[in-house]
Each structure stands twice: as structure tokens, then as C-alpha cells.
Amino acid sequence: MHKVTSTSSLGPGGLDLTQSFFKPIQNTAPPSPTKRHTKISVIGVGNVGMAIAQTILTQDLADELALVDAVKDKLRGEMLDLQHAAAFLPRTQILSSTDYSVTAGSDLCIVTAGARQNPGESRLNLLQRNVGLFKKIIPPLAQLSPDAILLIVSNPVDVLTYVAWKLSGFPSNRVIGSGTNLDSSRFRFLIADHLDVNAQDVQAYIVGEHGDSSVALWSSISVGGVPILSFLEKQQISCEKETLERIHKEVVGSAYEVISLKGYTSWAIGYSVANLAFSILRNQRKIHPVTVMANGFHGIEAAGGGGEVGEVFLSLPALLGRGGALAVTNVHMTEEEAQRLRDSAKTLLELQRQLDLEV
Amino acid sequence: MHKVPSASSLGPGGLDLTQSFFTPIQNTAPPSSTKGHTKISVIGVGNVGMAIAQTILTQDLADELALVDAVKDKLRGEMLDLQHAAAFLPRTKILSSIDYSVTARSDLCIVTAGARQNPGESRLNLLQRNVGLFKKIIPPLAQLSPDAILLIVSNPVDVLTYVAWKLSGFPSNRVIGSGTNLDSSRFRFLIADHIDVNAQDVQAYIVGEHGDSSVALWSSISVGGVPVVSYLEKQQIPCEKETLERIHKEVVGSAYEVIRLKGYTSWAIGYSAANLAFSILRNQRKIHPVTVLANGFYGIGPGAGGGEVFLSLPALLGRGGALAVTNVHMTEEEAQRLRDSAKTLLELQRQLEI
């Protein structure tokens, strides 16, 4: 039975319409166990979490949506605001609680919770604070939904995806970070807008660390199947390295631009994550640049072997489906691009090494 | 040509890929003028305006979306945040400007801009301030999109819909207020959740003034076609008037509850307005309880001295706007409360300087 609100005016003590309103059909079998019931949990109901939750709701991606946060009133207010739209949406059960039990049995858990950087705070310090937060979030999530896919959005997303993997005990294919999926969307938008074509016809990946040192894979950009760089060469249109750097910087800068203008970003990351949720839950086997365990791919050393090399998570073009990250595509990279990727990995490993992950 | 940002890195001065990237097809005729190109303008990019804009975008209701506000930075930030999702959405042109010229030739203009009530401020004073704001918003909107439908969301919505109608010079069928569309949705949700059915199977209208004195039409509530009140009578289930009042109060109170808990409401009104936009632009001829010119319906007559009044009634919406008002059954008591609503609104309007 789906009873979300406890209203005093309808129900026992108020007006009880349930008595004989419907006549049940006798001897009904319960729904078959293979019947699809998709549950998504969103942890953190700030601007990002709510943009994600609302987009998921509008795109009808789940039968059940659970919201979790530490602030009770805000959490309940957001839940009610979504529930009040019931007349305009397909029926979705919307729940919320400060208690993680509400997330039990999730197919997908999206974590957006995270401390904000204090002025003058070092990145390592912010990271350590977020690790502290994840120690409270990830273990109960993983325990209550042992088969779920974890999708980490909180920043810095690459290291926090690694942290979530460690704390959850999940196989690495089931712990993914939103990574450079949105950076790549902004990249594709810039190129598409310039060429006046649909952004979905532009294939362009930004990979590596989600942040200032992300790697734009210029050598594999194509529009309607036409590889751009070789096209430019054939047309003898000169293309300076500095120009490409500037375009890449513009992509990286556009997030900061939105933050400086409206205070935060929300809508684009909302669509980006809903896009990933759809690919995963509906087994689309689409390729997305997302944070995955990168060891063994594109020249990033495999972990273990008694050496110093640890596991590292960063964005690579990955095939996503119901089982999570299924494969990494062997996209072509120039030696320079591959080197920058390995440098990214080194930086992240160094950061991870300094973290205290003891639970 | 759809050129939204002025990217210095791509284009003249930067990397210009346009040269010969595509070979145009010669002698193409321009698109026929009847080719559907839907443009929606949203005035005000606060929480409500942006929830409406984003829902419209997600539901793919428009080819072009224009945002207007007075605060430049916030406006540009919101526009960029929507544009950055281009890879995940059907192609929609998204524009923004503090200048109303960006709204020209809209099919639908949604006004969410409005002053917030200062502590201790009288309702009349707040209203007069919003009238001042509308004098800057409505005339250019109407002038630049003379065939548009105006959808007013700003509160108090009924009086402001009247004001928008006066200031625009539009025929009354093209000036609509979001009215009690959302109140009715909350009402339907409460009932549906209690009975555990889909809210879309619950037909229940709240009409009249959008606010504390709205009128719940109990006599016409039905679930899957079964009228609730007469059903209760047949089942001999007692239904006290006080109980019905309490349920209604809970609906009215739920908006205040959300505001108290999260500071404002946004998502539900976003879906509500997008729902109205769809019915209008796709000529759905669906019945919605929205703010319309109410004179001549349900015994609401003109008051002394030409008193036109706008309040929510179940109205048939389509591409031409509000096409008709349904003759839903009302008890004499419900009709009287509706007429009382009208009187209150007329009194308020009379004191305004438009």
C-alpha cells in the first residue's frame, strides 16, 4: 500500500473514504517477482540533488524515489513539493527520511551530499571532511541496497568515487562517478552551437580528472562521423595548439562562470545525471565519459603487484548498462593525450594516499 | 541561424570550423510559414520561473525559450545552466535578456515576476507594488507578441490576471491565471493517496479565489466516475461539514507548509504551469481550474460601475486560450461562496491605480 502522508483529515479520525470504496478482486496473485519496480535514492537535497530528483521524476525513470538529507525540514518540504505535482505526473512513490532505511532495496543510489569549500581551505582538507561525510553515508547505503549501482556526484568526484568504492565493498563496476559527462556535454554544446548542428551529432570526449586538469580528446572529435582534426588538415585550415587549449579552458571555465553568475549550477548536472540513470537502468549500453576505475586502461598501470601503484578512479569513455560500467572503449588517443591522462592519474593517487579511510 | 553564446575561442578570431564544414543544399525554399515553431517566454527567473522553464524544456514543449528578468548576472547564469544540457535534450533555442525584445513573437508568455510581501505589509500595498511592476512588464510583452496567450503566475494571481488583462488590451480569452490548478492538484493528491489510486483518476476542483477563501467543489468530486458525496450518502457513511472544511484547510495549508519547510514552493507550480502550457499550445481542449474572466458564469454579475472580475473556474483550454467554462454542478452554498469571492476581489481591484 502506498501511503505517503499521514493526514489527519482523511483517514481514521477524519473522513475515511477507503471503506468499501473499491471492491477488491478475490484471489489475486501477488505481482510476479520478475515485475519491474525501479527504485532510485538521492542523497542530498540541495540544488544539485533536487535538480536530479525532479528531472528523474519528469522523465519517468523510476517507480519509487527516496530522498535523504540531514536537515529534516528542508527534506520534508522538498518531498511535499514533488508530491503535490501528482496530478501532472505518472504515479511515482516519493519518500524521504533522515534515516537511511528509506533507501532500502534501491537499484540506483545517487550521492550529491558534500561539504562546501571554506574560504582559504585546502583541497586536501575539504576532501578529508567529505571523506568523513561519506563514512556516514556509504556504508548504510551499501548495506541496505547490496545490489545497487552507486553514482557519485559530490566533488571532487574522482577521489570521492574511489572513497565510495572502498567504503561500500562493492565491485568496481557498480561504483561510478558523474565525472566528465557534463564537461563533455558543455564541450559538445560549444562545438555544436558554432557549427549550428544538433549537439547530439557531435561526438567529443573530455576525460581524466573532472576539474582543471581534464583532458580534451581532440583527436577523436567527430561531427556526423567526420573527424574534425583530419578534416581541418584536409581543408588546410590551420589549427593552433593554443586555440584548442583556449576552447578547452572555456569548457572548464563555463562551470565557474555559471557559479559566479547564479551562485551554483543545477539544471545541467540534473540532466546529465538523469541521462546516466536512464542508460544504466534501461540497459542502454551507451558510451558515457564517467568516473570509473581506470587501472589497466589507456596505459594507466594496473593496481597491485606489490608495487606502489594504487587503484585510481577517473573519467574514461565507458559503456553503461544495467550492470553498471561494463567496458571502457578503446578510443584513440595521441601519445600526448595518453600522457596527460597518466599525469591525471598520478595526481589523484597522490591525493588519495593522504586520506584516512579507516572506518 | 542559432547562435547563442559569443564564444571567442570558436569562430572568427578563434577556431572557425564553419568554413566548408557543410556544403549547403542549393535552392532550398525557406520553411513554410505554417511550420510549427513554438516560442515560450518566461518572465522572472526566480525559483518558480526556473522550475517552469526547466520543466517546459524537459517536456519538450517549445522550440524557443526566452527568459527575462531585471538581474543580469542571475539571468545569464540560469540561461547558461540550461544551455549546457544541450547534449541531453532535443534542440531548443534558449535566449535571455533584460530587454523585452527577446520575447518578440511568443506564442505563450508566462509571468512569474512579483514583489515579495514585506513583514507587516498590507495586502493592498503589496498588490499596488506588483501593479507597478506589471506596468513595466505587460505592455512591452503584449506589444511584441500581439497574438500571444498570457499566463499569469505571480500572486495574488486573480487580481494580477485582471491587471494584466487591463494593461495588455488583449481579449479576455487570451489572459489566463494559473489560479487554482495547483490547489486542485494538491486536493486530488490528498484524496488519491488516501484511497490509493492514481491522482489522475480523481476529479476534484477547487475554484474561486486562489488563496484562503478558495471554494472546494465537494458536490462534484468523483473517483473513477463515482461521485464521492452521493456515494458516501448511499453507504450511509457520515460526513460532517467540519470534516470537509478540515480537508480543504489542509489543501490551503499545504502551500504554507512547503514554504515554512523549504522557504518557497517551486517544483509543483513548475509542473502545473507546464501542464497548462501543454494544454494550450497543443490544443488539448482539457478542462483546468484556472483564473479567467468570471462575469456571466455561476451568477457572477457585473458589480456597480463595470466590475469585471477574474477568478478560477473549470475552463476548457486550447490553442486559442480559454475557450469555455464548464457548467459543473454547484450547490447553492458553493455558488454563493464563489460570488462572495468575486465581491472581495472586486473590492480589492477598486482600490487599485491601474
Question: Which residues between 119 and 158 in chain A have a beta carbon less than 8 angstroms from any beta carbon of chain B?
Answer: none
**Which member of A210, A248, A288, A298 is catalytic?**
A210
Evaluate if residue B163 carries a pLDDT over 50: yes
pLDDT tens per residue across span A209-242: 988 789 999 888 898 888 888 877 777 777 777 8
Percentage of chain B exceeding pLDDT 70: 92
Chain A residues with beta carbon closer than 8 angstroms to that of B197: 22
Chain B residues with beta carbon closer than 8 angstroms to that of A85: 185, 267-268, 270-272
Closest partner CB to B10 (pick from A10, A77, A194): A194
ipTM > 0.85, yes or no? yes
Task: Please tell me if residue B262 touches chain A, with a CB cutoff of 8 Å.
Answer: yes
Cα distances from A34 to residues A30, A38, A60, B153, in angstroms, run 11, 12, 20, 44
How many CB atoms sit inside 10 A of residue A141's CB?
A: 26
- Between residues B237 and A143, the one the model is more confident about: A143
Task: Please tell me if residue A60 touches chain B, with a CB cutoff of 8 Å.
Answer: no
pLDDT for res B35 = 62
Cβ distance A258 to B15 less than 8 Å, yes or no, reads: no
pLDDT tens per residue across span A78-117: 999 999 988 888 889 999 999 999 999 999 999 999 987 6
Cβ distance A190 to B3 less than 8 Å, yes or no, reads: no
Q: Which of A84, A273, A276 to mutate to test the interface with B (most CBs of B within 10 A)?
A: A84
In whole angstroms, how large is the CA radius of gyration of chain A?
A: 22
Evaluate if residue A2 carries a pLDDT over 60: no
Which residue is closest to B255 within chain A, CA to CA?
A81
Evaluate if residue A293 carries a pLDDT over 90: yes
Task: Please tell me if residue B78 touches chain A, with a CB cutoff of 8 Å.
Answer: yes
- Between residues B340 and A138, the one the model is more confident about: A138
Within 8 A by CB and 6+ apart from A292, the residues are A172, A173, A176, A177, A179, A313, A314, A315, A316, A318, A325, A328
pLDDT tens per residue across span B113-137: 998 767 777 777 889 999 999 999 9
How many CB atoms sit inside 10 A of residue B240's CB?
A: 10
Task: Please tell me if residue B24 touches chain A, with a CB cutoff of 8 Å.
Answer: no
Alpha-carbon torsion (B216, A75, B71, B4), positive or negative = negative
Cβ distance A193 to B5 less than 8 Å, yes or no, reads: yes
Evaluate if residue B25 carries a pLDDT over 90: no
pLDDT for res B126 = 82
Evaluate if residue B4 carries a pLDDT over 50: no
Element (H, E) at B152: strand B149-152
Closest partner CB to B196 (pick from A2, A54, A84): A2
Q: Where residue B14 falls among pLDDT bands split at 50, 70, 90?
A: confident
pLDDT for res A95 = 97
Cβ distance B81 to A262 less than 8 Å, yes or no, reads: yes
pLDDT for res A284 = 93
Task: Please tell me if residue B71 touches chain A, with a CB cutoff of 8 Å.
Answer: no
Q: Where residue B68 falls among pLDDT bands split at 50, 70, 90?
A: very high
pLDDT tens per residue across span B243-271: 788 888 899 888 889 999 999 999 999 99
Cβ distance A271 to B88 less than 8 Å, yes or no, reads: yes
Question: Which residues between 167 and 226 in chain A have a beta carbon less than 8 angstroms from any beta carbon of chain B?
Answer: 182, 184-186, 188-196, 198-200, 202, 223, 226
Cβ distance B55 to A50 less than 8 Å, yes or no, reads: no
Chain A residues with beta carbon closer than 8 angstroms to that of B185: 84-88
Task: Please tell me if residue B80 touches chain A, with a CB cutoff of 8 Å.
Answer: yes
pLDDT tens per residue across span A173-217: 999 999 999 999 999 988 888 888 888 889 999 999 988 789 999
pLDDT tens per residue across span B187-219: 998 888 888 888 888 999 999 998 888 999 988
Q: Where residue A4 falls among pLDDT bands split at 50, 70, 90?
A: very low
CA of B262 vs chain A CAs: smallest distance (Å):
5
- Between residues B158 and A1, the one the model is more confident about: B158
Evaluate if residue B304 carries a pLDDT over 50: no
Evaluate if residue B158 carries a pLDDT over 80: yes
Q: Which candidate, A170, A177, A249, places its Cα nearest to that of A214? A: A249
pLDDT for res B261 = 95
Is-catalytic flag, A210? Answer: yes
Element (H, E) at A65: strand A64-68
Cβ distance A86 to B193 less than 8 Å, yes or no, reads: yes
Element (H, E) at A231: helix A228-234
Q: Where residue B38 falls among pLDDT bands split at 50, 70, 90?
A: very high
CA of A95 vs chain B CAs: smallest distance (Å):
13
- Between residues A47 and A122, the one the model is more confident about: A47
pLDDT for res B305 = 47
Evaluate if residue A74 carries a pLDDT over 90: yes
The annotation status of B73 as a binding-site residue, yes or no, is no
The C-alpha angle B267, A176, A136, rounded to 5 degrees, equals: 75
Percentage of chain B exceeding pLDDT 90: 56
Q: Where residue B103 falls among pLDDT bands split at 50, 70, 90?
A: very high
pLDDT tens per residue across span A135-167: 999 999 999 999 999 999 999 999 999 999 999
Could you give the residue ranges of the DSSP H alpha helices within chain B? 47-58, 72-83, 123-144, 157-168, 181-195, 228-234, 241-262, 267-281, 332-350
Cβ distance A247 to B275 less than 8 Å, yes or no, reads: no
- Between residues B178 and B228, the one the model is more confident about: B178
Task: Please tell me if residue A6 touches chain B, with a CB cutoff of 8 Å.
Answer: no
Chain B residues with beta carbon closer than 8 angstroms to that of A195: 17-18, 21-22
The C-alpha angle B346, B347, B353, rounded to 5 degrees, equals: 90
